[in-house]
Amino acid sequence: MAHSVTGAALDMPPDLPTGALTSVDVYISSQCNRRCSYCFLPADFFASGKRMTVENFVDIVQWSKRQGVKEVTLLGGEPSLHPSFAGMVRMASSQAMDVRVVTNGARSFRRQLADGTVRPADLARVAVSLDSLDPVVQDEFRGPGAWRDAMETIDLLIEHSVVFDINVTAVRPVLGGLDELIGFADEKGCRRVNIHWPSTIGIGTTLDPGAVPNRDEWRELTRRVAQRSERRPDFYVEIERGYLADDEQLAGCALADFSNLQILPDGRAYRCGLLVDQVEMASLAMTGGRLKLMNAAHGEERLRTDWLSSCDSCPVMQVEGRRACIYDKVSSIRPR
């Protein structure tokens, strides 16, 4: 089912600063060649068949430039399934924007990169979804052929000298092989290994609870990442802290400081990625080249103004008994 943003459009008030915003995430298509069992987007998002128009994408890039944003990220679904994917990449790059693409390694992405439809020089970096070096584990959660797609895409990125990251969804079966995966990434010249918590929103609500790491497992993994000393200055590992002790404070809040903006194909705009599976939480919309407040007492805006006196009061932070935020991360140590 397709969704649209409703409500009276108001000028975005001056107390919604954009100075902390360095990248804008643009979901250009709801089409996807995968149905990952821990996806944070809901099933009706993929069923909607929505694609962002090229005109709206151009408006987003122009708005981002006016706000001093340096990077635009193309996501989906699988962004390379959008029929105008290559043109969008080229257009954003021509506007002196760093273009980042998040892909599962779909054949459509590899084909367009291999034949020059997508020019390597237009890609600032590409994030590839790879959870494990074990094909069985990868394909179990992402579907048949997922491991092969990811590995062949990484090889192609290396061949074309495109900077790449590896995104890891750390379900319990991948934990034992993470050190090996990180070593592989380092040797291949990867820029960053981004380890994140398996989603329990969207499609992820149906994920087998036994696949979700417990508190002790995640805190140990976080400790190991924080204590890593990398050999390359241009490589690091990053992980969401996930579980905090009562005396530990969150590093920040995307709602409070406007450090994040995610725009869906229909123009709905979210500041917190933990809320994108809830249509009713979208209080902003990108329309006509402007970011508009659709309802001052609605969704995220109500959270921000009425409930969010501090990070610890955020109702979405308390997830299954853990104090957590997807924007609260620690990194390994890079040599100076």
Average pLDDT, the chain: 89
Look up the CATH number of the domain holding residue 280.
Answer: 3.20.20.70
Helix or strand (DSSP H, E) at 207: none
What pLDDT digit, counting tens, does each position of 105-135 carry?
999 999 999 999 999 999 999 999 999 999 9
The answer as to whether 5 is a domain residue is no
Residue 61, pLDDT score: 97
Q: Which residue spans within 225-335 are E strands per DSSP?
A: 236-240, 262-263, 268-270, 284-287, 290-293, 318-319, 322-323, 329-331
Phi, then psi, of 24 in degrees rounded to 5: -115, 125
For tokens 């620690």, name the residue: 330
Contact between 83 and 112 (Cβ < 8 Å):
no
Residue 4 lies in a domain: no
How far is residue 120's CA from residue 93's CA, in Å, rounded to a whole number?
11
Instruction: Identify whether 3 is part of a domain.
Output: no
CA dist., res. 102 & res. 58, Å (int): 19
pLDDT value of residue 298: 82
Alpha-carbon span 267 to 56, nearest angstrom:
8
Higher pLDDT among residues 85 and 255, named by residue: 85
Question: Distance (Å, rounded) from C-alpha 179 to C-alpha 216?
Answer: 18
CB-neighbour burial class of residue 134 (10 A; exposed 0-12, middle 13-18, buried 19+)? middle
Read off the tokens for 88: 């969008």
100 within some domain: yes
Strands 192-196 and 164-169: parallel
CA 160/CA 156 separation, integer angstroms: 6
Of the chain, the percentage scoring pLDDT greater than 70 comes to 90
- Tell me if 336 is assigned to some domain: no
Q: CA–CA separation, 197 vs 164, rounded Å?
A: 20
Which of 16-20, 33-37, 186-190, 201-205 comes out lowest in average pLDDT? 16-20
Q: Which of 117, 120, 133, 234 is nearest to 176 (CA)?
A: 133
Residue 258, number of CB atoms within 10 A of its CB: 18
pTM of the model: 0.92
Burial of 117 (0-12, 13-18, 19+ CB in 10 A): middle
| Cα–Cα distance, 249 to 244 (Å, whole number) | 8
Other beta carbons within 10 angstroms of residue 88's beta carbon come to 25
How far is residue 86 from each of residues 93, 108, 116, 127, measured CA to CA in Å?
A: 11, 11, 9, 16
Would you say residue 115 lies in a domain?
Answer: yes
Task: Calculate the CA dihedral of residues 137, 143, 148, 150 and round it to 10 degrees.
Answer: -90
What is residue 16's predicted lDDT score, i.e. its pLDDT?
Answer: 52
Q: Does residue 63 contact residue 114 with C-beta atoms inside 8 Å?
A: no
Residue scoring higher pLDDT (163 or 66): 163
The amino acid at 163: V
More confident residue, 126 or 254: 126
User: Where in the sequence is the domain holding 137, given as residue range(s)?
Assistant: 10-331
- Residue 152 scores a pLDDT above 90: yes
Contact between residue 197 and residue 242 where contact means Cβ atoms under 8 Å apart: yes
| d(C-alpha 334, C-alpha 284), whole Å | 38
**Number of domains comprising the chain:** 1
Does any domain span residue 223? Answer: yes
Domain-embedded: residue 184:
yes
